Structure 1
Amino acid sequence: MRLLFRLAFVGYALAILQFAGIGIVFLMSDRLMPYHLAAMGTQWEAMAPGMQTMSLDFMKSAGAGFLMVAVAATFLLIIPYRRGEAWANWALAAILLGEFGLILSRMIDVATNTPGRPVFGPFVALGAITLASFLLSLVSRR
């Protein structure tokens, strides 16, 4: 069972890295992502400076949220989860899958109601890895 616990740990770590990566990309970007611009039906250069600023600030706020989820999950993974405290598995799943579900619902809304096409593949993989890690951790405790 120790192997399952280690696999779950690695899966959680990969999911956390992906959340952090998305957050860093959003925070470091100097313009909106192409699918954001497609959803808005505009090009970056065509946006008024105030719209650029506000839109970029919204994206950076989302990026900060991704990064803070990653930071919180890292602490849970490294300290209580690694110690084998069962509640940490539930907390990790709640934080990571909760953020995943919220963002996925927004991505679906954009894809359904605009010409924008968010990048679903890697994001859905993130959710699958997180869910698999949660389930592996539950099984490893039996």
Structure 2
Amino acid sequence: MTTKNKIAFGIYLINAVAMLVVGSVYLFSGEFMPYHSAVIQEEWIDLSEAQKTLYLGMMRTEAAGFLATGTAILILLIIPFRKMQRWAPYAISVIGIVEYLPSAIATYNVAQTTTASPPWIALCMGIGLLIVAIPLSEFD
């Protein structure tokens, strides 16, 4: 692998690990995130059991997407990327962007319409890195 390929590999690996970490946090959290509280202006303890069930269900759904995407990227890195198959960087980037983009749009909207500070910038950075990694993947 060339130096550029190694940089692209690292970018993809960072994204995969970040997705797995975010997915795990959302999956195993016993309550919603601080920015969720800021959006609805309620503390977790003040919610009804039905509301808690709904929020945790939505977080688990988001977790599933991040965990599936992170796992898919890892598999694509380990097998086709390392075999230098030309389609692999495109597949990795598209799969990652498909996960990040709706979350980025939703969190940006929350940031613009409330006082909450959701991580929309981090999601946009992930998208940018996935795009940058494509031309770095030089497979002849």
In the superposition, the TM-score normalised over structure 1's length comes to 0.91
Distance 2:87 2:70 in 1: 18
The equivalent residue for 2:52 is 52
Q: Could you tell me which residue of structure 2 aligns to residue 108 of structure 1? A: 108
Structure 2 match to 1:92: 92
CA RMSD of aligned residues (A): 1.5
Corresponding residue for residue 118 of structure 1:
118
State whether residues 76 and 92 of structure 1, in contact with CA within 8 Å, keep that contact through their aligned partners in structure 2.
yes
Q: Deviation at 1:85?
A: 0.7
Distance in 2 (CA, whole Å) between partners of 1:74 and 1:136 is: 18
Structure-2-length-normalised TM-score: 0.92
Q: Aligned pair count?
A: 140
Structure 2 unpaired stretches of 5+: none
Question: 1:121: Cα distance to partner?
Answer: 4.1
Structure with greater contact order relative to length (CA < 8 Å, sep ≥ 6)? 1
Matched with 2:19 is 19
Aligned partner of residue 83 in structure 2, secondary structure: coil
Distance 2:21 2:15 in 1: 10
Identity over aligned pairs, percent: 28
